[in-house]
Amino acid sequence: MYLVYAIFVLLVCAAVLAAIHWYRSQISETDPIKLRIKQAAKMKWKKTAEVKEDGYGAPWTQRSVRFARDKEEAVLWYKDATITLVRLNVPFDFDDFIELEEFIVKHPREHDIDDAIGELKYLREIELFVIRHGYREDFIYIKATDIQFLTAFGKLFKAGYAANESAVIAPLVLDGILRYKKDPNDAVNFLTRFIDDIRAKKESS
């Protein structure tokens, strides 16, 4: 008798759990981030990384989810649920992955990303790193309006390329952008110090 009762209770519990799962599956998702993550999965974008809070790991990181598919990259931003396609010449962000897909179909990937070699490739990787972390507009504005920062940036990436310092230059640029927002002169001095350090390190090696 007890065995029959136990089986009955288990069946009831299973039915209740199944009903809850079905009910939840029928509720339309309203969270814009979750909606876009589901869109990405349906369109075969693979989640590659997530920053769960601003400033995690480095001062310039922003809360986001990173995706990849073939050679394309995209970043979903928690701050406004927009999506950035990580390319050099894309002038705007996208409201969702459907809009992103429409753009990709009409505009194939730029050859200057894949075909670049040597110093140009090194520069392109720095620029893509800046875009990937959400500082495209800041970088464009500062370079267009401040010749001292632009000059310091040019000397920094050339010194880094000559010294084969591939891992540190892009983060230094982002750090410089953050400093620029507080004090432009401090940002230029910050980049200039590292130019001297990299050159001295190369000469001593």
Q: State pLDDT tens for residues 71-117.
A: 999 999 999 999 999 999 887 899 999 999 999 999 988 777 778 89
pTM metric for this prediction:
0.81
- At residue 16, the pLDDT reads 44
The answer as to whether 4 is a domain residue is no
Q: How far lies 188's CA from each of 61, 177, 193, in Å?
A: 21, 10, 9
For residues 133 and 154, membership in a common domain is answered with yes
> How many other CB atoms are there within 10 angstroms of residue 195's CB atom?
19
Containing domain of residue 176, as a range?
Answer: 116-205
For residues 81 and 143, membership in a common domain is answered with no
- CA–CA distance, 104 with 91 (Å, rounded to integer): 13
In the chain, at which residue ranges do the beta strands (DSSP E only) sit? 46-51, 64-69, 72-77, 83-85
For residues 144 and 122, membership in a common domain is answered with yes
The answer as to whether 9 is a domain residue is no
For residues 62 and 132, membership in a common domain is answered with no
Q: How many residues does the chain have?
A: 205
Here the tokens at position 18 are: 């199944």
Domain boundary, last residue among 68, 90, 110:
110
For residues 144 and 91, membership in a common domain is answered with no
When pLDDT is cut at 50, 70 and 90, the band that residue 140 belongs to is very high
The tally of domains found in the chain comes to 2
* Backbone torsions φ then ψ of 165, nearest 5 degrees: -95, 85
When pLDDT is cut at 50, 70 and 90, the band that residue 134 belongs to is very high
Return mean pLDDT, the chain: 86
pLDDT in tens, 143-181: 999 999 999 999 999 999 998 877 789 999 999 999 999
The answer as to whether 205 is a domain residue is yes
